[in-house]
Amino acid sequence: MGGVEPNSPQDCFQTMIKSMLRSLSLVAAFVACFAGAPAHAADIAAGKAKAELCVGCHGENGISQMENIPSLAAQPDLFIQWQLVFFRAGTRKNEQMQPVVEQLTNEDIRNLGAYYASLAPPKPPVDDNSDMSKKGAQAAVGRRCASCHTDSYAGTKAVARVAGQRQEYLLKALHDYKSGVRSGGGMAAMADVAYPLSEEEIEALAHYLAHL
Ligand code: HEC
Ligand code: HEC
């Protein structure tokens, strides 16, 4: 890779694009990215200051009160960073996020990742439909969701926290993967996972995960 040592999602993204252009293995670049140590220590206080730009939509302390806007609190650092890089590169498209990410430097992205990862996760609402949760739990076992999202569904590295996320946003995300509107990073794990899900499973999964 031309002697470049990839070590942050921002650097990695460029490395991946370059490696794609050179027809080198994208998967190898992706793996190298996650093996690398962070380039610079992230600054949580600077991330908090920058998050003033985000609070109007994503809520105080990263807990969203708005429909179709996800909570960011306690998302894994790398998941936040990758999604911001995807929005900025235009590989993930959203009209509301687009003008925001245009203003972010690589350093902002690093700091925002560290800041949101440091926050307490959202408290799940009281479960108003335990039958639905049971169905969702069964579907999650059958589809092996925890194999990537971890047993607590708190996520790890580039894999999102889904526990306690807003239910209608989980529903939207699963529909977006299934329809191909959202393709996800690198190995397109979620597109492959969501494609065979039935509408009934998607609804049960979103209900179950939102109440964890
Ligand atoms: C005008 C409203 C708005 C503002 C301001 C905004 N966002 Fe967003 N953000 C959204 C919406 C809407 C989505 C969901 C996009 C979708 O449905 O794919 C989103 C998604 C995201 C995601 C992906 C999360 C996930 O779970 O998939 C991240 C990360 C994110 N925003 C970070 C930020 C950061 C950091 C800022 C401030 C620098 C910010 N956003 C400012 C509206 C906003
Ligand atoms: C092979 C690993 C893998 C498996 C299995 C998997 N996921 Fe994911 N999931 C991911 C990754 C990686 C992401 C982030 C993708 C991206 O960049 O958009 C993700 C993202 C998501 C998101 C979007 C979260 C957000 O905030 O934007 C939802 C919802 C989700 N997964 C639900 C599920 C459910 C439900 C299952 C089981 C049916 C499942 N996942 C199985 C790897 C996986």
- pLDDT tens digits along 38-56: 557 899 999 999 999 999 9
Q: What is the pLDDT of residue 31?
A: 46
Which amino acid, one-letter code, is at 24? Answer: L
Strand partners, 201: none
Contact 140, 208 (CB under 8 A): yes
- Report domain extents, the chain: 1-39, 44-117, 130-210
Ligand 1 lined by 53 (C-beta under 6 Å): yes
Burial of 207 (0-12, 13-18, 19+ CB in 10 A): buried
Q: Which of 197, 194, 166, 161 is nearest to 180 (CA)?
A: 194
Q: How far apart, in Å, do the first and last CA atoms of the chain sit?
A: 42
Residue nearest to atom 34 of ligand 2 (CA): 145
Model-level pTM? 0.89
| Topology of the domain covering 44-117 | Cytochrome Bc1 Complex; Chain D, domain 2 (1.10.760)
Backbone φ and ψ for 135, nearest 5 degrees, come out as -60, -45
Residue 39 C-alpha to ligand 1 middle, in angstroms? 24
Q: What superfamily would CATH give domain 130-210?
A: Cytochrome c-like domain (1.10.760.10)
Confidence band (pLDDT; 50, 70, 90) for 5? very low
Over 50: is that where the pLDDT of 2 sits?
no
Nearest ligand by distance to the CA of 70: 1
Ligand 2 lined by 158 (C-beta under 6 Å): yes
Residue 68 C-alpha to ligand 2 middle, in angstroms? 17
- Mean pLDDT across the stretch 134-161? 97
Mean residue pLDDT across the chain: 88
Q: What is the pLDDT of residue 20?
A: 54
Nearest ligand by distance to the CA of 62: 1
Ligand 1 lined by 73 (C-beta under 6 Å): no
Domains 44-117 and 130-210 share a fold: yes
Q: How confident is the model over 74-111, as pLDDT tens digits?
A: 999 999 999 999 999 999 999 999 999 999 999 999 99
Ligand 1 lined by 155 (C-beta under 6 Å): no
Ligand 2 lined by 144 (C-beta under 6 Å): yes
Helices (DSSP H) in the chain: which residue ranges? 9-21, 26-35, 44-50, 55-58, 77-89, 98-101, 106-117, 130-142, 146-149, 167-179, 189-194, 199-210
HSE on the CB side for 180, CA within 13 Å?
A: 0
Over 60: is that where the pLDDT of 32 sits?
no
HSE on the CB side for 75, CA within 13 Å?
A: 26
Over 90: is that where the pLDDT of 37 sits?
no
Ligand 2 lined by 76 (C-beta under 6 Å): no
- CB-based contacts of 69, cutoff 8 Å, min separation 6: 57, 58, 59, 96, 166, 169
Over 90: is that where the pLDDT of 187 sits?
no
**What is the C-alpha separation between 204 and 142, in angstroms, rounded?**
13
Over 80: is that where the pLDDT of 21 sits?
no
